[in-house]
Amino acid sequence: MSSEVIKPGKFVSLTYHITDMEGSVLEQNDIPVGYVHGGDTELIGSMDRVIAGKQAGDEVEMVVHPEDGFGDHDPDLTFTDNIDNVPPQFRQLGAEVQMQNEDGETRTFYVSKIEGDRLTVDGNHPLAGKTLKVMIKIVEVRDATPEDMAPAGGSCSIN
């Protein structure tokens, strides 16, 4: 096992899972994801600070409050309408709906509730407004290669 520690310029590979505060798993990634520490990749909460100085094999748990994670739930991004006003292909929970505002900006909304003849779409991130627990396992720490630093070099965003 490598004794390299996480610091700027190191390639880091990790797995993680996110639960709510009651322990229900909300997201799990068992396939390692990688990024260059200190680079442009945006990590949830203060994950980059929490794992700095750690090495392969270390496990870290952190709590992420809404303001540091996916933001507060914005009620202005939730709309309810009569289901008859919604095209049939969107009349199911989880359906993805692209909406455009008067400025031409597009945002993804999801059908979050269907009650009787009313359908609700929500433009908030599904984890908005939630306090989350993130469990992280460091898989690999090594010097970053030029390929790791390239925009299409396999880096990913954990957010």
Half-sphere exposure of 10 (CA within 13 A, CB side): 22
pLDDT digits 0-9 by tens, 79-134: 999 999 999 999 999 999 888 888 988 989 999 999 999 999 999 988 899 999 99
CATH number (3.30.930.10, 3.20.20.80, 3.40.50.2300, 2.40.10.330) of 75-122 reads 2.40.10.330
Q: What is the pLDDT of residue 111?
A: 94
Domains of the chain, by residue range, sit at 10-70+128-149, 75-122
Can you give the pTM of this predicted structure?
Answer: 0.73
Q: What is the mean pLDDT of the chain?
A: 89
Instruction: Kindly report the CATH class assigned to 10-70+128-149.
Output: alpha beta
C-alpha distance from residue 130 to each of 57, 63, 118, 155 (Å): 28, 11, 25, 26
Q: What is the pLDDT of residue 151?
A: 62
